[in-house]
Amino acid sequence: MSKAQIISTIDHDASVRVALESLIKPLGFVALAFECAEDFLRSPRVDDSSCLITDVQMQGMSGLDLQDRLIAQGSRIPIIFITAFPEQNIRSRAQASGALGFLEKPFAGGL
């Protein structure tokens, strides 16, 4: 039996974390949710995460700064960014650093 892959999510909004978890778990993944980038980085499961879904704008470290930190540490974790403020320069920077995707909140049709 194979071990379930972990998808980690980071968003300051608890309702977004709960909604993402409710989408991830039924697909057979383990869902880990964090309120901020610093909590994720302190987690012992950082290296176990198969994918990261993170808000761009958060208190403390931003999603883009988190991406830079992970790259500097040699991490190749795929990252999907979510944001309520879809600015082209932010999207371009995220994609230039290898972002897997970029989604705008609120999500079409709800989450």
**Residue range 30-59, pLDDT digits in tens:** 999 999 999 999 999 899 999 999 999 988
Sequence-ordered list of residues with C-beta below 8 angstroms from that of 57, at least 6 positions apart, any chain: 63, 83, 84, 85
- What whole-number distance in Å separates Cα of residue 111 and Cα of residue 15? 10
Tens digit of each residue's pLDDT (9 = 90 or more) over 16-28: 999 999 999 999 9
- The pLDDT, as a whole number, for residue 1 is 44
pLDDT tens by residue, 69-91:
999 999 989 999 998 877 787 77
For residue 2, the model assigns a pLDDT of 59
For the chain, what is the radius of gyration of the CA atoms?
13
